[in-house]
């Protein structure tokens, strides 16, 4: 492995104001209350991949901070499985092969490892399930304490998992947004390691782009279809593929398609408006509970990423999600309903001719069906 490129003074960045802050002091938001990013990094080439590491830490040279002792459980390197779909060809990225059963482990390993490096000992998170499980697991693995706020309606299989890791859990009545609001209030007393706010979480999800590039023999796919709530996978793919483009490892960005349930599709509504300011919606319950976020905090950044790639947003109905989930399951892919939305979206995109059958299209399947046994049981009984 060659010596990696050295970033020019990486820092926290407020994308709205351009203000930067030193990485020496852990932060979860800017002085004006906005979410932070990391200043653009040069990216790495194939010669900088540490192929001896059987985890996403093989891409550690692409991270802004050197972590001496990462908290890792072998996350990353998930299967990419070819699958026929509606006359087209899809490559399914099985992110549920992560240690806690969802893609959130990518962000959790990098974020929690970095925060521990910065001296944080206790973390707070709010989650509808998968994010909380990931933060609880990696905090436990790193000898840190965690508290997770969870919507009261969350599937028991997810809250049990958090508690099993030793996390303090608190059920919050009301909507997913009510839980996020409660977490922001409690952040005055516990460091807020939110997967929606933390820029180091996105440094973890960007490894999805690097991994797809490596999976495809160091080429970019044509399309990546992503279940989207707050947009951490959309942003991760944008950051990672932009780094690869900047470094000259790829010659174009793949189109990113951000998929939301019609019952809670604020990013889709905003995209259709042509603007950047979040369009208010009347959120309704959805089977895709992992993406039920009515007020994503990084609306501008997520939509900029989609537009920059030449992609678009897609909103799918509850019926379309159920049908897609059933077809995936009957073909051997047992996913939670949230990520079945991408298969439903691909059906739409193929039918409209926006995605062509011969293109290389990746579906990001983010979580295991075992996470939603009760909800899936209701589907089968219905």
Q: What is the CATH number of the domain that holds 350?
A: 3.40.50.1100
Q: Are residues 286 and 342 in the same domain?
A: yes
At 2, the pLDDT band (50, 70, 90 cuts) reads low
Sheet of strand 37-38, all strands in order from the earlier edge strand to the far edge: 20-21, 12-13, 37-38
Average pLDDT of span 29-33: 96
Predicted confidence at residue 122, as pLDDT, reads 98
Residues 85 and 151 in one domain: no
Residue 32 maps to a domain? no
Task: Decide if 10 is inside a domain.
Answer: no
CB 176 within 8 A of CB 150: no
Same structural domain for residues 158 and 180? yes
**Residue span of the structural domain in which 162 resides:** 104-199
86 lies in a domain? yes
Q: Is residue 184 part of a domain?
A: yes
Residue range 232-248, pLDDT digits in tens: 999 999 999 999 999 99
The domain boundary, picked from 166, 199, 232, lies at 199
Pair (139, 242) in one structural domain: no
Residue 136 pLDDT more than 70? yes
Residue 290 has pLDDT above 90, yes or no: no
Between CA 83 and CA 92 the distance in angstroms is 7
Residues 250, 182 share a domain? no
| pLDDT score for 283 | 92
Q: Place 99 in a pLDDT band, splitting at 50, 70 and 90.
A: very high
Say if residue 215 is in the same domain as residue 239.
Answer: yes
Band of pLDDT at residue 64, cut at 50, 70 and 90: very high
- Parallel, antiparallel or unpaired: strands 88-94 and 80-85: antiparallel
Query: Are residue 276 and residue 187 in the same domain, yes or no?
Result: no
Q: Is residue 246 part of a domain?
A: yes
Domain boundary among 146, 169, 199: 199
In this model, does residue 174 exceed pLDDT 80? Answer: yes
281 plus 318 within the same structural domain: yes
| Domain total of the chain | 2
Q: Report, as an integer, the average pLDDT of 315-328.
A: 97
Per the model's pLDDT, the better-predicted residue between 382 and 300 turns out to be 300
* pLDDT of 1: 65
Looking at the fold, whether 232 and 188 belong to one and the same domain comes out as no
Do β-strands 80-85 and 37-38 pair in parallel, antiparallel, or remain unpaired? unpaired
Q: What is the pLDDT of residue 205?
A: 98
Closest of 90, 281, 290, 118 to residue 195, by C-alpha: 290
CA dihedral 131, 133, 134, 138 (to 10 degrees): 140
Looking at the structure, do residues 349 and 310 belong to the same domain, yes or no? Answer: yes
Q: Does residue 6 register a pLDDT over 60? A: no
**Confidence band, pLDDT 50/70/90 cuts, at residue 129:** confident
Answer for the pair 131, 137: CB distance below 8 angstroms, yes or no.
no
- Pair 97, 114 in one domain: no
**Position 145 pLDDT exceeds 90:** yes
Residue 34 lies in a domain: no
Q: Are residues 258 and 373 both part of a single domain? A: yes
- Stretch 62-67: mean pLDDT: 96
Give the distance, in angstroms, between the CA of residue 336 and the centroid of all CA atoms in the same chain: 15
The pTM assigned to this predicted structure is 0.95
| Residue 20, in any domain of the structure | no
Using 50, 70 and 90 to split pLDDT, how confident is the model at 292?
confident
Query: With 80 as the cut, is the pLDDT of residue 158 above it?
Result: no
Asked if residue 200 has pLDDT above 80, the reply is yes
Q: Examine residue 9 and state whether it is found in any structural domain, yes or no.
A: no
Lowest mean pLDDT among 14-23, 152-161, 234-243, 285-294: 152-161
Boundary (domain end) residue, out of 177, 199, 221: 199
């Amino acid at each position: 492995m060659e010596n990696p490129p050295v970033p020019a003074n990486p820092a926290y960045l407020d994308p709205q104001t351009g203000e930067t802050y030193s990485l020496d002091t852990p932060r979860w938001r800017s002085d004006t209350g906005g979410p932070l990013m990391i200043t653009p990094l040069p990216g790495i080439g194939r010669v900088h991949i540490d192929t001896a590491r059987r985890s996403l830490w093989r891409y550690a040279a692409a991270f802004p901070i050197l972590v001496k002792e990462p908290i890792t459980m072998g996350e990353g390197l998930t299967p990419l499985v070819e699958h026929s779909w509606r006359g087209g060809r899809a490559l399914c990225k099985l992110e549920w092969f992560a240690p806690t059963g969802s893609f959130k482990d990518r962000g959790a390993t990098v974020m929690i490892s970095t925060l521990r490096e910065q001296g944080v000992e206790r973390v707070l998170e709010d989650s509808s399930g998968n994010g909380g499980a990931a933060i609880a697991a990696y905090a436990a693995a790193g000898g840190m304490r965690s508290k997770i706020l969870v919507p009261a309606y969350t599937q028991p299989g997810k809250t049990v998992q958090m508690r099993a890791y030793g996390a303090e859990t608190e059920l919050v009545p009301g909507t997913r947004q009510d839980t996020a609001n409660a977490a922001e209030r409690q952040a005055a007393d516990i460091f807020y390691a939110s997967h929606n706010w933390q820029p180091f979480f996105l440094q973890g999800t960007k490894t999805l782009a690097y991994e797809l590039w490596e999976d495809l023999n160091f080429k970019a796919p044509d399309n990546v279809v992503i279940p989207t709530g707050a947009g951490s996978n959309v942003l991760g793919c944008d950051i990672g593929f932009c780094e690869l483009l900047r470094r000259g490892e790829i010659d174009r960005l793949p189109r990113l398609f951000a998929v939301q349930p019609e019952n809670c599709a604020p990013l889709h509504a905003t995209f259709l408006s042509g603007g950047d300011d979040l369009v208010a919606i009347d959120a309704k319950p959805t089977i895709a509970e992992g993406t039920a976020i009515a007020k994503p905090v990084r609306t501008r950044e997520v939509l900029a990423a989609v537009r920059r790639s030449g992609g678009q947003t897609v909103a799918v109905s509850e019926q379309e999600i159920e049908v897609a989930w059933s077809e995936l399951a009957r073909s051997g892919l047992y996913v939670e309903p949230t990520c079945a939305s991408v298969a439903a979206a691909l059906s739409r995109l193929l039918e409209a001719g926006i995605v062509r059958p011969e293109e290389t299209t990746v579906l990001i399947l983010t979580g295991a069906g075992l996470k939603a046994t009760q909800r899936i049981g209701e589907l089968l009984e219905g």
